[in-house]
Amino acid sequence: MRIGFGFDAHRLVEGRPLVLAGCRIPFPRGLEGHSDADVAAHAVIDAVLGAAALGDCGSMFPASDPRYAAADSLDLLRQAVRAVRVAGFAPSQVDCTIVAEEPALAPHVPAMRRNLAEACGIRLEECTVKAKHTEGMGFTGEGVGMAAFAVAVIEPSTAGPRRPADGAGFLS
């Protein structure tokens, strides 16, 4: 088995929806970014790609590429998982912690778990999402932004490594 660690952080801004682990959360501000800026999904992308030694979210889905403008980060996570599977691995567990002072995220955790588990192709009981706050300390505590940390476990798949004919899913 292999283990990968992921992290992401984005600034909160007016005029954008707040999307966390694929859930649209009612809040007056959203996260600034090239895609939907879903810090939870981005941290999980980094974790699964890192476990497979396939780079990170920014190298696979660069902000300089207009194809990813306003992209749905769960779709990006599905693409990252496909690349991991092509490399001969499969996710077996994901653990994600979202750090935000507000809004209250606990009511959304079950849906966030379902979304991340589905995107990773794992069972619900293999996916954990936790919401934490920092008691007013730092950029998350001051409400300037949000962050997420993730750990992913991947295991060799029974199909073994496969490279698609067009090279899709592999970094140059």
Q: Is the pLDDT of residue 172 over 70?
A: no
Q: What is the mean pLDDT of the chain?
A: 92
pLDDT at 169: 46
Given the structure tokens 């749905």, which residue do they identify? 72
pLDDT at 158: 73
Residue 33 dihedral angles phi and psi, to the nearest 5°:
175, 170
Confidence of residue 54 (pLDDT cuts 50, 70, 90): very high
**Between residues 49 and 162, which one has the greater pLDDT?**
49
Task: Domains for the chain: give ranges and CATH numbers.
Answer: 2-156 (3.30.1330.50)
153-165 burial, b for 16+ CB within 10 Å, e for fewer?
Answer: bbeebeeeeeeee
pLDDT at 159: 59
pLDDT at 164: 46
Asked whether 73 and 43 are in contact (CB, 8 A), the reply is: no
For the chain, what is the radius of gyration of the CA atoms?
Answer: 16
Q: Is the pLDDT of residue 129 over 50?
A: yes
Q: Is the pLDDT of residue 167 over 70?
A: no
Mean pLDDT of 51-67: 93
The tokens for 54 are 């396939």
CA dihedral defined by 112, 53, 81, 124, rounded to 10 degrees? -40
